[in-house]
Structure 1
């Protein structure tokens, strides 16, 4: 039931985000990717080869690709502290830091290049404002309803690379 409520809320937000927006003139060749995906893992690989899980062992997330070329991504750390005051505007600096580090979301339009195995995200709005208006390319693999892509310019900056894995829901 909790998953259904989360899914319904996310889809409602995405419908409002895309409503009245001009459609991407070229429909991407995305038949394999179109649909709803649930997050499996996000793993950061540091320059020295060490690995970290920035959103924890069991992160939560949804990825939507529609047939018109729109996408939306929401990634959350599974375990985030509640705001003690019960009001996000009264969160402590430590609570705010935990909330920021535990969230990554953005939406916009996308294109698929099956020959080069790339997804290109045209980021319109993002939780991390440095990504707004950027174009980001991800190399991907698709196997057994599992989408895996590489992020070379993560929100962590520097030379950190992320491997993100999604499982197709519908």
Structure 2
């Protein structure tokens, strides 16, 4: 499944975690596990072309512009929607 948005709710307020139109992938396994990887659409490239040689400000922008996590999920039988746990 291609991720087209990544909205989180904090204290009752919705927020686009990676801004408008992020790019990403969400994979659901039939074993009840999932993996998500997402990045900002405008994530900068490293000036050196090598992530190991990134400057402090480059590293900060890139870390803040992506998210990856995994875990387990169940399916809400009423809505047929996955619920990440």
Settle same-fold status: TM greater than 0.5.
yes
Q: Shift in Å at residue 52 of structure 1? A: 4.6
Q: Secondary structure at the residue paired with 1:41?
A: coil
Alpha-carbon distance in 1 for matches of 2:73, 2:65: 24
Kindly indicate whether residue 35 of structure 2 is the aligned counterpart of residue 65 of structure 1: no
Deviates more, 1:102-111 or 1:64-73: 102-111
Structure number with greater Rg is 1
> When the two structures are superposed, what TM-score results if normalisation uses the length of structure 2?
0.74
Q: Tell me, which stretches of 5 or more residues in structure 1 are unaligned?
A: 1-36, 122-170
Residues 86, 94 of structure 1: alpha-carbon distance in 2 compared, 3 angstrom cutoff:
same
Task: Look up the match of 2:39.
Answer: 76
- Structure having the higher strand fraction is 2
Residues 109, 101 of structure 1: alpha-carbon distance in 2 compared, 3 angstrom cutoff:
same
Cα distance per residue 1:126-154 (max 9 Å; x no partner): xxxxxxxxxxxxxxxxxxxxxxxxxxxxx
- Structure having the higher helix fraction is 1
Kindly indicate whether residue 5 of structure 2 is the aligned counterpart of residue 41 of structure 1: yes
Task: Look up the match of 2:52.
Answer: 89
The number of equivalent residue pairs is 84
> When the two structures are superposed, what TM-score results if normalisation uses the length of structure 1?
0.41
Q: Tell me, which stretches of 5 or more residues in structure 2 are unaligned?
A: none
Alpha-carbon distance in 1 for matches of 2:10, 2:84: 23
Residues 48, 64 of structure 1: alpha-carbon distance in 2 compared, 3 angstrom cutoff:
closer
Regions of 4+ moved over 6 Å: none
